[in-house]
Amino acid sequence: MNVMSILRYSRRRIPEVVEQLSEADWDLPGVCGEWSTKQVVAHLTAWASYFSEFLAPQAGLTVPTPFMDDYRQLDEHGFNDKHGTAASGLSTADVRLAYDAAWDRVLDMATRIPAARWAEPGCLPWDPEGALEDFVVYGYYGHQYEHAAQIEAFHARRRRARARRV
């Protein structure tokens, strides 16, 4: 498995999907539950930030872990509220910049991890047989593509509904 390719595909997917959206499109609720595109992208940004913190020890680095700390303190629902729901007050430009910066950190951290380490079982605290590459596939690649599909479907439905009214 080429982990770096999978991570690069993961990182590119959301920018591809949101490229044609207007500023107003980013704030429309209903993309994922009540969340807007902006909130979904902020949610993905938080999880990318969490991931870069998670990868640091695998690369032999010690970094501050505010996102991992949030997850431990708030649980998954609270983490998502803090980083996704609350993003409605942010500008689209700020959300996009934060997304890019978070994924740049993930890719930088990933390059520091020895290639053999990615496939090594026992790297995931919750799965004694799991390897880092497993987490990349289901936790990040899958997560990005799931939300990208929701964003695409939501805005495609809106375009079709608009076309029917015309």
Q: What is the average pLDDT across 24-43?
A: 96
Let me know if 55 is exposed, middle or buried by CB neighbors in 10 A (0-12, 13-18, 19+).
buried
Residue pair 50/83 in contact (Cβ under 8 Å)? The answer is no
Instruction: Compute CA distances 166 → 60, 158, 160, whole Å.
Output: 59, 13, 10
Instruction: Compute CA distances 147 → 65, 68, 138, whole Å.
Output: 25, 21, 13
Which residues contact residue 71 at a Cβ distance below 8 angstroms, ignoring those fewer than 6 apart?
50, 79
Query: How much is the pLDDT for 163?
Result: 83
Residue 103: give its domain's CATH number. Answer: 1.20.120.450
- Write the pLDDT tens digit of every residue in 98-153: 999 999 999 999 999 999 999 999 999 889 999 999 999 988 999 999 999 999 99
- Write the pLDDT tens digit of every residue in 41-97: 999 999 999 999 999 999 999 999 999 999 999 999 999 999 999 898 999 999 999
| pTM, two decimal places | 0.94
**In total, how many domains does the chain have?**
1
- Write the pLDDT tens digit of every residue in 1-23: 899 999 999 999 999 999 999 99
> Whole domain around residue 52: which residue ranges?
3-165
Beta-carbon neighbour count of residue 125 at 10 Å?
8
